[in-house]
Amino acid sequence: MAQSAQKTRKRVYTKEEIQRANQVDMVDFIQSHGQGTLEGHGRYFKYHVNGHDSLVIDKKLNYFYHNGQQRGDNLVALLREYEGYSFPDAVGFLLGEDLEPHKEFVEEPIGPYQQVYEQDTTYDQAQNYLRKVRGIDKDIVDFLFTNGYVIQDKKYKSAVFQWREFGLPQGEIVGATSQGTTVDYNQYGKRGTAKYIAKNSKRHYGFSITLGKPKQYLFFESTIDLLSYWSLHKELDNSRLMSLEGLKHQSILNFIQETNGYFDQLPTEGIVYGVDNDAAGHRLFDFVEERINIIGSRESDKPAENINQIPFDHEIPNQMIQLYQEAAEDFPNVNWVTLATVHKIETNYSNTNKIANNFNLHRYFAQDATSKLPNEEIDVALAVQSAAEELHAVLLDAPDPNDPVEQLVSLYVDQDESESKRQLIKEKIQYYYDDYYAGNYQRVEEISKDWNELLLQQRSEGMVTEREPLAFDPKRDGLDDYLTETFDYYLQDSPTQEAVRGMLVGKYGINVNVVNALIKKGLIRQDVNDRIVFLWNNEGEVIGGQIRGTFYNKAAFKKTAGYEKKVMDKSEEGYGFNVTLGRPDKMHLFQTPEDLLAFWTMHIDDLKDTVLFSLSNNNPDDVIKNINLKMKAGYKIKQVEFCMGNNQESLDLMDKVAQLESFDRQTGQLTTIQGDKIQFRSLRPRIGIDWLSELDEKRARMAALDRANGRAGQQLNQVVSYSRT
């Protein structure tokens, strides 16, 4: 009896003990004892645990933050709220284990982004995922892979979205998002696939695409949502679509500043926010409405319009409408639309008390945004009934009971609130009330969330076809402008080409007709400093160039054999000087423009139907990229002549190409990203180190032969004359 009467006693911990428990290093604890999975590096980690996928661990502060609830707390709270511990058990466990105390975190400066994904030779799996699983438009998918916005990772077959600066295809890659293509809900939770941001990706940035000159800025939570929106709006042009890779206020500000600064274009057609239809998405839109006021044009000080493009924003659950209508029957002064509006702005029709606005509007359904209590389920029917009862009394005594919006504003806004904020809150309430009252809503069983859901839904209903072409035409609207802005020919031309001809024809022996033809086309120029300029042509557009000095100065240019040599600023990385002859089915690759011209001179009667291409670096990936670019332009390349020199740099490059996964060393064939087989053949100088020295040796031999023939002729003449005498 005495034994059964005993009660289990829980230890009461002192304030100092609780403080010591919270000083255990949160990241170390999770790695050793956490029930979920931890992702990340540096200061911030993402923690997926028991269905929660928006917990961020701040290693510096030893604190967690729940993005979905806009609240954070310490380690004991983490164990209680997300790991299932009671408060005493959490503290006791942390004190009883030999756990590492929190260490001072010194954030290392982020290094430059390094490509960590090896590009696959095909992109079938990534393409199939985007097209078949996500429903992204075929024209858009083709555009992404063709222009280097997306590659397929060789190891995991994931779709790697490359973060190109300014959203341009030739922009520097400063980060990447890897989207897994294998769907497994058991392994990856409700998302179904793996998704990672690459290490050292640029902070406060993300994936973006620029279409023409961006008069409209568009923001999305994820790259898939961005592409889904574009698939449903193929008419988009003169826009920049940007993924925040979450909900990051600083990313919005950085993107806006960069877009305006680089393109010198204000958002004259507004700033669109296509964030998710959930509490966090609505809070973000409220934030930008209050905090982000960008000038919309240079003609006025009026701010650009912040445009709400939250998908499914006007859906109302059937069961909720029934609750509102039943409550309104008991309180004739209350319209069911008023109840729907209140529920919408407070929690976005959630059955929990998680607040869904950034103005801290809470009264009937949401809890105070400053509360540290965890969100919990509420009795929605009871909350609706309470709201109807209070609103009935308020409207009964209102000066104008026919204006419920103004009365709602008075309920939510304190007298000392600023007029500007009061106006924003009124506009938010008015927006939903007016639309609901006019019947502009959809009754649904369950509210949907994002743009990809909308795309898949409309595809299943046959509302989306791919007959409509993309309004954005890179050739017409975008790439020409980009190239002009990205590469500017900043040199002043000389009025003559004497130094060019003197060096190329006089010194090196390049065929004078070849040099004159290229000067006439503008591909070879002479600047006012008498330097040779080789411009890089890409199907009629100049995207770079390189400089070759004509004055010898061994001390100044020791590393480049005594002559100034450099690639011009803002040239397309990895491209080079090239000339197209006839209808090419071959490519000849060289190390320098001079080698290209020397080889052409020696084979001027034989060369036809080829692309002569001088590489600007020793990167094997750029070799493949340039071959693919020419094939994309419509050339049927079947063979590549690797016309490298007899030097170590040349041998290293050939060896690197031979080690590529796409290269078959037995057959000497390269498989392109389109699946074409191209035969590689090595063609090297027989006498000289390179083709320029080969041409020089050939000229020297011809001169010697001419001299020998001249002496023989003189001797023959002497013999003849002697015989006559």
Say which residue the tokens 């209050």 belong to.
290
Helix segments in 397-525, DSSP class H:
404-412, 419-437, 451-460, 479-486, 498-501, 512-521
Mean pLDDT value across residues 321-327: 96
The pLDDT assigned to 719 comes to 35
Separation of alpha carbons 200 and 557, rounded Å: 35
Q: For 512-557, how does the pLDDT look when each residue is reduced to its tens digit (9 = 90+)?
A: 999 999 999 899 999 988 999 999 998 888 899 999 999 888 777 7
3-state secondary structure 308-370: ECCCCCCEEEHHHHHHHHHHHHHCCCCCHHHHHHHHHHHHCCCCECCCCCCCCCCCCCCCCCC
Separation of alpha carbons 690 and 120, rounded Å: 33
Return the DSSP state at 104. Answer: P
At residue 381 the predicted structure's pLDDT band, cuts being 50, 70 and 90, is: very high
3-state secondary structure 204-239: CCCCEEEECCCCEEEEECCHHHHHHHHHHCCCCCCE
Listed residue (331, 549, 339, 501) closest to 433, CA to CA = 339
Listed residue (270, 272, 283) closest to 230, CA to CA = 272
Pair of tokens at residue 520: 């006439």
Pair of tokens at residue 101: 């105390």
Listed residue (427, 434, 329, 339) closest to 391, CA to CA = 339
Separation of alpha carbons 254 and 263, rounded Å: 14
Separation of alpha carbons 473 and 237, rounded Å: 9
H or E element that contains 71? strand 71-73
Contacts of 482 (CB under 8 A, 6+ apart): 168, 169, 170, 210
Which amino acid does the sequence have at 302?
K
Which amino acid does the sequence have at 82?
Y
Average pLDDT of the chain to the nearest whole number: 86
Pair of tokens at residue 469: 């072409």
Separation of alpha carbons 718 and 238, rounded Å: 82
Q: Does residue 717 or residue 159 have the better pLDDT? A: 159
For residue 448, count other CB atoms closer than 10 A to its CB. 17
Torsion angle of the four alpha carbons 598, 599, 603, 604, in this order, in degrees rounded to the nearest 10: -50
The pLDDT assigned to 422 comes to 94
The pLDDT assigned to 715 comes to 40
Separation of alpha carbons 548 and 526, rounded Å: 10
Return the DSSP state at 266. Answer: -
Separation of alpha carbons 405 and 429, rounded Å: 7
What angle in degrees, to the nearest 10, is found between the helix axes of 620-632 and 648-658?
A: 70
Q: Does residue 698 or residue 341 have the better pLDDT? A: 341
Burial tier of 461 (Cβ tally within 10 Å: 0-12, 13-18, 19+): exposed
Separation of alpha carbons 594 and 576, rounded Å: 12
Which amino acid does the sequence have at 256?
I
Mean pLDDT value across residues 192-220: 91
pTM exceeding the 0.85 threshold for the entire prediction:
no
The pLDDT assigned to 401 comes to 60
Contacts of 150 (CB under 8 A, 6+ apart): 123, 126, 130, 144, 159, 160, 161, 162
For residue 490, count other CB atoms closer than 10 A to its CB. 10
Q: How many residues does the chain have?
A: 725
8 A C-beta contact, residue 162 and residue 206: no
The pLDDT assigned to 477 comes to 46
Question: Parallel, antiparallel, or unpaired: how do β-strands 195-197 and 442-444 relate?
Answer: unpaired
Residue 640 has pLDDT above 80, yes or no: yes
- In the sheet that 677-682 helps form, which strands lie side by side, from edge to edge? 578-581, 610-614, 586-590, 639-642, 677-682, 669-671, 663-664
The pLDDT assigned to 483 comes to 37
The pLDDT assigned to 8 comes to 45
For residue 414, count other CB atoms closer than 10 A to its CB. 8
φ/ψ of residue 519, rounded to 5: -65, -45
Separation of alpha carbons 721 and 725, rounded Å: 6
DSSP-assigned states of every residue in 18-48: HHHHHTB-HHHHHHHH-SSEEEEETTEEEEE
Own/partner long-range contacts of 395-400 (Cβ < 8 Å, ≥24 apart): 395/333, 395/334, 396/333
Listed residue (621, 714, 693, 707) closest to 661, CA to CA = 621
At residue 416 the predicted structure's pLDDT band, cuts being 50, 70 and 90, is: confident
Q: For 152-180, how does the pLDDT look when each residue is reduced to its tens digit (9 = 90+)?
A: 999 999 999 999 999 999 888 999 999 99
Burial tier of 345 (Cβ tally within 10 Å: 0-12, 13-18, 19+): buried
Strand partners, 663: 670
At residue 43 the predicted structure's pLDDT band, cuts being 50, 70 and 90, is: confident
What angle in degrees, to the nearest 10, is found between the helix axes of 138-146 and 223-232?
A: 130
Q: Does residue 6 or residue 100 have the better pLDDT? A: 100
Separation of alpha carbons 318 and 321, rounded Å: 5
Mean pLDDT value across residues 127-132: 95
Most confident of 152-161, 185-194, 553-562, 614-623: 152-161
Q: For 62-83, how does the pLDDT look when each residue is reduced to its tens digit (9 = 90+)?
A: 888 877 666 788 999 988 888 8
Say which residue the tokens 């019947």 belong to.
439
Q: How far is CA 267 from CA 218, 287, 298, 302, in A?
A: 10, 18, 10, 11
Burial tier of 165 (Cβ tally within 10 Å: 0-12, 13-18, 19+): middle
* CA of residue 552 relative to chain centroid, distance: 45
At residue 110 the predicted structure's pLDDT band, cuts being 50, 70 and 90, is: low
Say which residue the tokens 């690639």 belong to.
567
Listed residue (103, 99, 102, 101) closest to 33, CA to CA = 99
Mean pLDDT value across residues 32-55: 76
Mean pLDDT value across residues 588-604: 96
The pLDDT assigned to 552 comes to 84
Q: How far is CA 629 from CA 68, 81, 117, 296, 635, in A?
A: 44, 54, 21, 38, 9
Separation of alpha carbons 532 and 577, rounded Å: 13
For residue 268, count other CB atoms closer than 10 A to its CB. 16
Return the DSSP state at 422. Answer: H
8 A C-beta contact, residue 363 and residue 378: no
At residue 482 the predicted structure's pLDDT band, cuts being 50, 70 and 90, is: very low
